[in-house]
Amino acid sequence: MDAPAKDDLHYRVMTSREPPPAKDDGLVPRDRDATGRARNARPRDGLGRPLPRGLPGVPTTPEDIVLSPVESLREAERLLAAGRPFHAHEVLEGAWKASGDDTRELWKGLAQLAVGITHVRRGNEVGAVRLLTRAADRIEPYAAAAPYGVPVAALTSWARALIARIEQHDGELPEDQLAPHLIG
């Protein structure tokens, strides 16, 4: 294969410190909020997958919602029972970001639990096992003194049992087995 000629675009890009010329690839620029933070304004389906722009989607949890810890648990449990684990994750993530240091890992683990369930519902067994394992490992240390009435020991057992069932490829999981109780 011949070396690129000096007037070849590839040669100029590879030997220049200047960025390559912009191309019009037809991609829509990333959504940003007023502060410049990346946001995704695309509509989403019930499992959080982005839909093409212009299609109606399932309403998501507003990013600026402020709920008490108990309200967050109730809302996340309601969303899980309704088959909307991605949306439950958003509620739990909000609580995680607003939490103090003493419960931060619990909230993070609960959010991961919801993401694990999202992966189960999407048919992603590998992702489900990974997230459910992380969730169980992260929440388990709170079992001795579980805050806000979270049944940590039961949730840890539930997650590990679900992992075992996924790894055994035990067929379809009934809907009611994908909605753990977050409040004891």
Query: What pLDDT score does 17 carry?
Result: 47
Owning domain of residue 132: 69-178
Is 105 part of a structural domain of the chain?
Answer: yes
Model confidence pLDDT, tens digit, residues 36-75? 765 667 777 777 777 778 888 777 777 667 799 999 999 9
Does 146 reside within a domain? yes
CB 141 within 8 A of CB 105: yes
Looking at residue 27, its pLDDT comes to 62
In a domain, 61, yes or no: no
pLDDT of residue 65: 75
- Please indicate, yes or no, if residue 43 is contained in any of the structural domains: no
Q: 0.85 cut: is pTM over it?
A: no
Residue 62 counted as domain residue: no
CATH of the domain at 113: 1.10.3450.10
User: How many other C-beta atoms can be found within 10 angstroms of the C-beta atom of residue 112?
Assistant: 25
CA angle 177, 182, 184 (to 5 degrees): 105
* Contact between 138 and 112 (Cβ < 8 Å): yes
Closest residue by Cα to residue 59 from 95, 86, 78: 86
Residue 129 lies in a domain: yes
Give Dmax over CA atoms of the chain in angstroms.
Answer: 71
**Backbone phi, then psi, for 27, in 5-degree steps?**
-80, 145
Specify burial of residue 100 (Cβ count, 10 A radius: 0-12, 13-18, 19+): exposed
What integer pLDDT is reported at residue 175 of this predicted model?
82
Give the per-residue pLDDT at 9: 41
Pair 63, 161: CB distance under 8 Å: no
Domain count along the chain: 1
Burial of residue 40 (CB within 10 Å: 0-12, 13-18, 19+) is: exposed
Residue 33 domain flag: no
Residues of the chain with pLDDT under 50: 1, 4, 6, 8-22
3-state SS string for the chain: CCCCCCCCHHHHHHHCCCCCCCCCCCCCCCCECCCCCECCCCCECCCCCECCCCCCCCCCCCCCCCCCHHHHHHHHHHHHHCCCHHHHHHHHHHHHHHCCCCCHHHHHHHHHHHHHHHHHHHCCHHHHHHHHHHHHHHHHHHCCCCHHHCCHHHHHHHHHHHHHHHHCCCCCCCHHHHCCCCCC
* Structural domain includes residue 40: no
